[in-house]
């Protein structure tokens, strides 16, 4: 009975998730549970599968899912197209946001917002409603008024690209946001703006997964849980102190433990 109640509260429930790209298995059985209001950090050495995990959850067709399940608020993500995963409340902030010359931010966001409204049987926003929403949300990450007419990410600085990701997150109001290496390529001021934006958007009803190499971001976005991903599995889970320990000791001690266990 107790167990069941817990289950229904899970915002994200991933079990045994395995995935490959071009025949190479990257995720080898990931288990992760995230509840509303929580912030999780996923850390790990390069090549451990952190970005792959986020991309597989978001439905990147480059990957093949080999097994396991992933439910978002009770909805089976793996059966949905990337666009419907977005509508259901999943948001991925890309490590490398894509430049799309010729598509303005206004048209891009309008298409996204109105597709979501249509999915839920709502009328599309008209131009005035939409621009008002954009204005309100871009203030969260201090993006200027030229944003609407600029092409998506084209000519944006590294910091602007990441702020633009958080702006899109603000527009789409996801249940679960996965921030993939949002701190990479950011100077300290941009990092602060991005982190403050994320914290402003945090509520008791949504959750955030922060994927990062470094402890630095976690000084700004405080995690409730820290997981270490290595060789396609979560090999350690702890509280915020685990991130500090990793900062101090590096990943080698975990790698050595896992590699030794594998060999024996």
Pairwise CA distance, residues 47 & 101, whole Å: 30
Question: What Rg, from alpha-carbon coordinates, does the chain have?
Answer: 19
Nearest residue (CB) to other proteins, 113 versus 195: 113
CB of 98 to other proteins, least distance (A): 4
CB of 15 to other proteins, least distance (A): 23
Answer whether 85's CB lies under 8 Å from 59's CB: yes
CB of 257 to other proteins, least distance (A): 35
Nearest residue (CB) to other proteins, 19 versus 92: 92
Nearest residue (CB) to other proteins, 108 versus 251: 108
C-alpha neighbours within 13 Å on the C-beta side of residue 155 = 10
CB of 29 to other proteins, least distance (A): 24
CA dihedral for 85, 90, 96, 97, sign (positive or negative): positive
Nearest to 212 by CA among 43, 38, 34: 43
Nearest residue (CB) to other proteins, 21 versus 244: 21
CB of 247 to other proteins, least distance (A): 31
C-alpha neighbours within 13 Å on the C-beta side of residue 196 = 11
Nearest residue (CB) to other proteins, 171 versus 243: 171
Nearest residue (CB) to other proteins, 19 versus 58: 58
Nearest residue (CB) to other proteins, 108 versus 125: 108
CB of 246 to other proteins, least distance (A): 29
Report the interface residues with other proteins, using CB under 8 A: 58-62, 81-83, 85-87, 92, 94, 97-103, 107-109, 111-113, 115-116, 119, 151, 168, 172
CB of 89 to other proteins, least distance (A): 10
Pairwise CA distance, residues 14 & 28, whole Å: 12
């Amino acid at each position: 009975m107790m167990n069941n109640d817990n289950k229904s509260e899970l915002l994200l429930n991933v079990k045994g998730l395995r995935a490959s790209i071009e025949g190479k298995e990257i995720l080898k059985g990931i288990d992760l549970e995230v509840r509303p209001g929580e912030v999780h950090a996923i850390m790990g050495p390069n090549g451990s599968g952190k970005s792959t995990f986020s991309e597989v959850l978001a439905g990147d067709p480059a990957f093949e899912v080999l097994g396991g399940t992933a439910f978002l608020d009770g909805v089976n993500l793996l059966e949905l197209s990337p666009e419907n995963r977005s509508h259901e409340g999943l948001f991925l902030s890309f490590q490398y946001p894509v430049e799309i010359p010729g598509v303005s931010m206004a048209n891009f966001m309008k298409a996204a917002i109105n597709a979501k409204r249509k999915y839920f049987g709502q009328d599309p926003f008209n131009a005035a409603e939409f621009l008002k929403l954009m204005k309100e949300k871009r203030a969260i990450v201090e993006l200027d008024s030229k944003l609407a007419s600029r092409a998506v990410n084209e000519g944006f600085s590294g910091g602007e690209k990441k702020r633009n990701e958080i702006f899109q997150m603000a527009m789409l109001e996801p249940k679960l946001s996965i921030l993939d290496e949002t701190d990479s390529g950011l100077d300290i001021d941009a990092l602060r703006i991005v982190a403050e934006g994320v914290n402003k958007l945090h509520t008791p009803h949504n959750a955030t997964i922060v994927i990062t190499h470094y402890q630095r971001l976690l000084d700004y976005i405080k995690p409730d849980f820290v997981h270490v991903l290595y060789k396609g599995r979560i090999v350690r889970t702890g509280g915020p102190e685990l991130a500090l320990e990793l900062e101090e000791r590096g990943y080698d001690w975990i790698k050595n433990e896992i590699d030794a266990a594998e060999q024996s």
